[in-house]
Structure 1
Amino acid sequence: MSLKVGDVVEVLGAQEILSTLDERGELDELPFMPEMLRYCGQRMTVHKVAHKLCDSITHTGLRRMARAVHLTGARCDGSAHGGCQTACSLYWKEDWLRKIEPGRLAPRRTPAEGKPNLPLLVSATTRGADPDGQARYACQATEILRAAPICMPVLSLSQYVTDVRTGNVGPLLALRGFLVGVFNRVQVESRKRLPRWLLFRGGRDWGFLNPGRPGKTPTATLNLQPGELVRIRPRSDIEATLDDNLRNRGMSFDEEMAHFCGRTARVLARVDRCIDERTGRMLHLANPCIVLEGVVCLGRFNVNCPREFVPFWREIWLERVPVNEHA
């Protein structure tokens, strides 16, 4: 369909989508998940064309995805995956969508349409259980390397053309993404081949976050609740809470998150569980993290990846905004 950002599409009915799936409930190795059923029959807008994505499992860089898009507001609520709170942006294959031309009337739907009993999809949400009885889940995030098996080199210029042609980003952001991507690639190679004293800015990626010291990192408890207004602390304050791997008690902080330092946002949710994409196991966070409204990874330091992860924030990286400042 050659979809572009802003195109209006209609999600097909559940039975129509089911007919495109194999015996594992997948199309081109990409699962269609029970959480997606509630969108069946709805008209939605293409938010980003998902022609590439960041490999968050083995960290090999970008992967190529075929004939898929992200739709505005369509995120996984984790209801069929143990209440996972990662809120991933769902992938939609073009085969599951119908492009709506301007002026076309919406079809009349029955209330039950798009919500039949689909045991195939439910059974595909788990891979069984570990010896300790803990379930191992399967979802679009855990299976993403099968759905996008081909690596996409930074120097593959066609990706930047596609970014602009589809409307994912404008020409200047595409150029910036290319330059940052090349710089980071050079830094990676220099870290492998050069002595430390010859490295530019310590061999760090663009954004040049300063790592902390090895060992235990500090923590703070603010007991933030949904709806509260917070300010993301200055970058230097957050860097002081990190270890030498840019982590605070196992939670990473990166250049994409540093982009939001100093900004205010409302707390959307407290997160205490999420699925480990590598293993499929549910992780229960000893120190709950915070999700902020409207704060997502923009891909500015990752070659304009359109995946838009929702970053998790430690409370020590945030501060309440006094009532008199936003009254």
Structure 2
Amino acid sequence: MTKSVARTPVPSLRVGDLVEVRSAEEILATLDENGELENLPFMPEMLRFCGRRLTVHKVAYKLCDTISGTGIHRMEHAVHLTDSRCDGSAHGGCQTSCSLYWKEAWLKRVEPGMPNPPRSSCVDIPLLDANTRKEPGPDGTSRYSCQATELLRAAPTCLPFRDLGQYVTDVKTGNVRPVESAEAFLVGLFNRIQDISRRLLPRKLWFRNGLPWGFVQGRAVGRTPTAHLKLQPGETVRIKTKSEIMETLNEDRLNRGMGFEEEMARHCGRTARVQARVTRCIDERTGELLTMKNPCIILEGITCNGSHNVSCPREFVPFWREIWLERV
């Protein structure tokens, strides 16, 4: 993929704006033959929100590339809305619970106090259903297409760290407070200095082993350990300390293939309730629906806030191994 660079886009909506999701017929009129607008799919899971009024939760003008690791990309004319996450019902029951992207053309701004329109019934649009599938894999495995798998087509342009306008936009849109934007910039700057030191300096001169801010380093030797607590939704757990969790990670910071990152380490020691056990998720790179040998846990109210990824507003829902948790 050829990377291009452009300046920070200027969104028209901001956090807290009240909007109404247009009717399915209005939205369908904006889509091409692939059920997309500007390469972003409108998915069947989004139909249930048609006619509803929601507030803008985050302005989705940028996102972190979790497919090929090329950094931050820019998205135009899109937002995330409150309480609108994908339930995976049209994608094999995927449990990733991604925050949905809404193009501004699918929304209309409304003023508080305006009467609510009649709720339209949820309709089934064959075009949307047909475009949830990709060509099968070489072995005949079913593969899915969703907003997450197509993000690099919808947001092909890189937004470089040095583009200082993005940190101003983060504040102007209401995505973050000024202090949070400054923190994200400083963390990003520190991490780039660490990258340079690892490339140019001998190991003995590396600061904290050249690790990015948060300093998560796997310590396990050989096969990583596991635990089976059989946690169920509604149970209360405490996230173990960072030191305890690092003992379960290999040098790539993986436990049985599941990664633990700095954003997750921010929650160490916190108490939370179990929201769900996760057994299925879509591989963003291939579209394949993966079935986990060891189920993972989603915790209520815990999402990635982007502080280690220049305030990316995607708000991923982290997956937790049971060995990283303990019953309260």
TM-score by length of 1: 0.95
> Does structure 1 conserve the Cα–Cα contact (< 8 Å) formed by 2:220 and 2:248?
no
CA deviation map 1:197-225 (0-9, x unaligned)? 22221111011112224521000000000
* Secondary structure class of the residue paired with 1:48: strand
Q: CA deviation at 1:195?
A: 2.2
Partners in 2 of 1:226 and 1:116 — Cα distance?
31
CA-based RMSD: 1.1
Partners in 1 of 2:77 and 2:196 — Cα distance?
32
- Could you list the runs of 4 or more consecutive aligned residues of structure 1 that deviate by over 3 angstroms after TM superposition? none
Q: What 5-or-longer segments of structure 2 have no aligned partner?
A: 1-10
Q: How does 1:1-327 map to 2 (within 5 A)?
A: 2-110=12-120, 112=121, 115-321=122-328
Partners in 1 of 2:252 and 2:138 — Cα distance?
32
Partners in 1 of 2:251 and 2:180 — Cα distance?
30
Partners in 2 of 1:256 and 1:117 — Cα distance?
38
Partners in 2 of 1:60 and 1:193 — Cα distance?
21
Q: CA deviation at 1:186?
A: 1.8
Partners in 1 of 2:171 and 2:20 — Cα distance?
24
CA deviation map 1:117-165 (0-9, x unaligned)? 3111111101121243321111000000111111111111111111000
**Is the alpha carbon distance of 1:213 and 1:319 closer, same or farther for their aligned partners in structure 2, counting shifts above 3 Å?**
closer
Residue identity matched to 2:77: R
> Does structure 2 conserve the Cα–Cα contact (< 8 Å) formed by 1:220 and 1:315?
yes
Q: What 5-or-longer segments of structure 1 have no aligned partner?
A: 322-327
Q: CA deviation at 1:269?
A: 0.4
Partners in 1 of 2:23 and 2:131 — Cα distance?
19
* Secondary structure class of the residue paired with 2:296: strand
| Equivalent residue, structure 1, for 2:8 | none
Q: CA deviation at 1:106?
A: 1.5
| Equivalent residue, structure 1, for 2:5 | none
TM-score by length of 2: 0.95
Q: CA deviation at 1:102?
A: 2.9
* Secondary structure class of the residue paired with 2:295: strand
Identity of aligned residues (%): 64
Partners in 1 of 2:308 and 2:85 — Cα distance?
23
* Secondary structure class of the residue paired with 1:226: coil
Partners in 2 of 1:27 and 1:92 — Cα distance?
10
CA deviation map 1:156-201 (0-9, x unaligned)? 1111111000100111111111111111122122222322222221
Residue identity matched to 1:53: L
| Aligned residue pairs, count | 318
